[in-house]
Structure 1
């Protein structure tokens, strides 16, 4: 499973990025939505995990752009504040994760996504 992780905080980007690695997951990390769009172009990632508050284009705008191309894409929006129910209406595979989150929450979420992706590809 290929994960694109977008986080502007360098310490979090490095730590969470490393923790998401393994279990059949490959993580590519970047600091902004604009870079994420370039990385995703031509060979889309299976999952987008993004902070909502980013410099320049927000994580929610990034998610909407990628979902416009693929409404079934898996997206995890990470935010320090409650996003309400709106992101759930963007597509069936959009999830939210409230910061600060426990690593077990992230692992459980990614495990479920990995299982779902594996069942689609078989």
Structure 2
């Protein structure tokens, strides 16, 4: 699974990015949404994990932009604020992860997404 992780905090980006790596996963880290969009245009990522508060285009704007062209896209919005049911209206594969989160919570979410993606691929 190809993952792009967008986070403007250098330390968090490096730490969380490396912690998401694992068997069957490759992680590309970006400091902003614009960089992620450029890379995604070359070869779409399977999963987009993004901070909501970013310089320039926000994580929610990035998500909405990607979902316009690929509504079945898997997206995880990381935020310090409860977004309620709002992101779920964007599509069946949009999730939120409240900050600060434990790495186990992120790992559980990634595992759930991997399971759902593989069961969809098998059908």
Which segments of structure 1 move beyond 3 Å, counting only runs of 4 or more?
Answer: none
- How many residues get paired? 122
Match of 2:18 in 1: 18
Q: How many Å apart are 1:28 and its aligned residue?
A: 0.3
Unaligned runs of 5+ residues in structure 2 are: none
Q: Deviations over 1:11-48 (max 9, x none)?
A: 00000000000131100000000001001003110000
Q: Are 1:115 and 2:115 counterparts? A: yes
Q: Report the TM-score, using the length of structure 2 for normalisation.
A: 0.97
SS at match of 2:118: helix
- The correspondence of residues 22-41 of structure 1 with structure 2, limited to 5 A, is 22-41=22-41
Output the TM-score relative to the length of structure 1: 0.97
Structure 1 residue runs without a partner (length 5+): none
Equivalent residue number for residue 58 of structure 1? 58
Shift of residue 88 of structure 1? 0.6
Structure 2: distance between partners of 1:99 and 1:28: 20
Q: Secondary structure at the match of 1:55?
A: coil
Cα RMSD (Å) of the superposition?
A: 0.7
